[in-house]
Each structure stands twice: as structure tokens, then as C-alpha cells.
Copies of this chain bind each other. A is one copy, B any other.
Amino acid sequence: MTFTLAWLAERVRQVMPCTVVGDASTPVERVEHPAAPSLGGALAPCFDADAIAQAVAGGASALLVDGRADLPPGVAALTAERPRTALGLLLTAFDGVAPPDGVDPTARIAPDARVDPTASVGAFAVVGTGASIGARSRIAPHVVIERGASMGADCRLGPASVLGWGCSLGDGVILQAHATVGADGFSYDTAAPSNVDVARGLAAEAVLQPWVRIPSRGTVELGDGVEIGAGACIDRPTLGVSRIGAGTKIDNLVQIAHHVEIGEHCLLAAQTGVAGSCVIEDGAVLGGQAGIVDHQRVGRLAVVLGGADVHSDIPPGEVVAGAPARPRREWFKRLAAAGRLERVRRRLRSIEDRIAALEEDA
């Protein structure tokens, strides 16, 4: 595939302003790292001056830079205010539409499963009874799609990912390798007060007793364009449906417990855990290794910084940090105050000395 710089600029302009510098008819065959061994025919994204120098020296056909970049004369380039976003659009343009691989003869597909003729199914994939796979969706080798599960068009399920019975994916959903959608919720309770009740202040003491399993009979629905990272786990609820809204992106090794509801266009970074019955509103961002205790609500467009432990509802738009999480400004203040403790003790000592002197005089 070869595109002109003008055509690529148009592609970026569908999302944000983009300017062509130099010859708009420059042909571009591919996108390469500015340090790649061969850059002829390539567009190289350059996010700093060193990268620009490197790409120009390497003979890149064109650059992608931000609007403030200082370009040597004669260089062809695209400029965009958010060049990383533009890079995403360009790489996607070069992806094109791969021809379907078809259905591998080793795939085990139930006779009543519906597989669109344009879909691909990899080696040893299992598609259960009543399951359905939409147009152009690509199922990697070793994927397990259980009975009654379904997905729309243009989904991509990575190697060894699991889509549990009755769960459904919208269009354009991505599951990375080893993702699990629809594992049983971790739902246990006891017949008499337990030490969990003691910890919550609901009982004075506990005895050793068996945990009674509350089976998970609900399902999970992922909206259009959702991505689930490698090894991430999305649990199914006891009854009913748990939903993750369109456009929400979830990173590797994230845990979403049972009865969690997640809105649209959220971002959950790696290793974050959301405990049972939480609500994550539209556009919320959770940094890596964040933890949300059960039954909390993270407000629309709120940000939970990496590593924070959320023990209470977070208002819309708030940025929180720390354990337990509090507004970032307050968290910074507390950190600073903790760093001044030694000084507090010095001041106390000096004050005590001065008082003693005054008392002696009195």
C-alpha cells in the first residue's frame, strides 16, 4: 500500500487539524521508528529534535511532528497538535483490510454456531453451541467461545482468550491473549457472622465456618470498541447483566469483579482492580495498580492516579491519589507535611526551652 502525504493528512483531519509541510504528493509506503535501519519510503514519527535529526539523516520520506517542531528545509512532513494520536490514525490507515484467513480445519465449531463467511477462526479454537461470530471478526488459535456467546463485526480475539457462555461483545471489540470474559464472580458468604463481618464492625467475633458459594448465573456485555488486555478478567454477576460501555479500554491483568458497571470511554491501566458492585462512570481514568473497594462510585471524567486505593465515592472530574485516595492537592499537602515532621519536633524543643526560661524568670 502506498499513500500520498496529502491523503494521509486527510485521514488525520477526520479527527483533528493536520498540516502538510513540503511536497504533499510524497509517496509513503509504511511507518517506521526514526531509528529503523532503513527509512526510504517511510514516514517516521518524531517527538523531539533528536528524532527529527535521526530520521532526516536516515533518509525518511516524511516525518510526523507537532506544530512547534523545527524542520530542516526541504523535509516533507505532517504536523498535528497531538502527534501521538495522529500516529495511531496513520498506523491504522496502513493496516488496511487483511484478507480473511478463513476457518482453520482444526477449529471445533458447534453445528448450530453462526460464523459469518468473512470471519476467521484459528487453529484449535472452540465455538460452542448457539454461539455467533460477526463479519470480519478474527478468532486467533486456541480461543474458547462458550455456548450462546456472541460478538458483532470486526472483533479480534487474541490467542487463548476465553469468552464465557452467554456473554456478548459489540462491534470492534478486542480481547488480547489470555483475557477471560465471564469467569464466575468471587461470591461467598457464611451462615453465621464471619470475620469479614467482624472487620466491617457488624459482629463481635467469628468462628471458623465454611464459605457458602453463591453461583454466578448472569452474563457480561461489552459495548462497541471495548478492549480487554492480556490476562485481564471480567467476572459475571450472580444474576442479570454486567455492562462495560462502548469505547472503554482495559489494560493487561486488570480485575473487574462481579456486578461492576463501567461506562463509556473509560481507561483502566494495568493491574488495576475494581471490587464488586462498583460503578465507574463515563470517561473515568484509573491508573495502574489502582484499587477500588466494593460498592464505590468513580464519577464521570474522574481520574484515579496509579496505585491509589479508593475507599469512597469520587466526584465527577476529581483527580485522586494515595491510599486511602483523596484529592490530589490534599494528598500532596499531606506528603509535604509528613516531610516537615522532623522540623516540627525541632520547633517544639526550642519552644519548650524558651518556656522553661520564661518560667524560671517568672
Q: A160-B144, A285-B195 are in contact. Are A230 and B183 (CB under 8 A)?
A: yes
A49 at the interface (CB under 8 A from B): no
Q: How long is the Cα–Cα vector from A312 to B301 in the complex, in angstroms?
A: 26
Q: Tell me the bound Cα distance from A159 to B127 in angstroms.
A: 12
Instruction: Tell which of A124, A188, A270, A293 has the most Cβ of chain B within 10 Å.
Output: A270
Contacting B at CB under 8 A, from A90-134, are: 91-92, 95, 104, 106, 108, 122-124, 126
CB distance from A197 to the nearest CB of B (A): 10
- For residue A341, give the distance in angstroms from its CB to the closest CB of chain B: 4
Q: Mark A166-196, 1 if CB is under 8 A from B, else 0.
A: 0000000010111010011011111110111
Interface range, A side: 35 or more
With A178-B231, A180-B231 known to touch, is A212 a contact of B270 (CB < 8 Å)? no
Would B270 and A208 count as touching, CB distance under 8 A? no
Most buried by B among A213, A230, A282, A354: A230
What's the minimum C-beta distance from A198 to chain B, rounded to whole angstroms?
Answer: 7
Judging by beta carbons under 8 Å apart, are A341 and B337 in contact?
yes
- Does B267 lie within 8 Å of A211, measured CB to CB? yes
- Is A358 at the interface (CB under 8 A from chain B)? yes
Asked whether, in the complex, the Cβ of A124 is within 8 Å of the Cβ of B108, the reply is: yes
Using a CB–CB cutoff of 8 Å, the interface residues on chain A facing chain B are 15-16, 31-33, 35-36, 45, 82, 84-85, 87-89, 91-92, 95, 104, 106, 108, 122-124, 126, 140-142, 144, 146, 158-160, 162, 164, 174, 176-178, 180, 183-184, 186-192, 194-196, 198-199, 205-206, 208-215, 217-218, 225, 227, 229-231, 233, 235, 238-240, 247, 249, 251-253, 255, 257, 264-265, 267, 269-271, 273, 275, 282-285, 287-289, 291, 293, 300-303, 305-307, 309, 317, 319, 322-324, 328, 333-335, 337-342, 344-345, 347-348, 351-352, 354-355, 358-359, 361-362
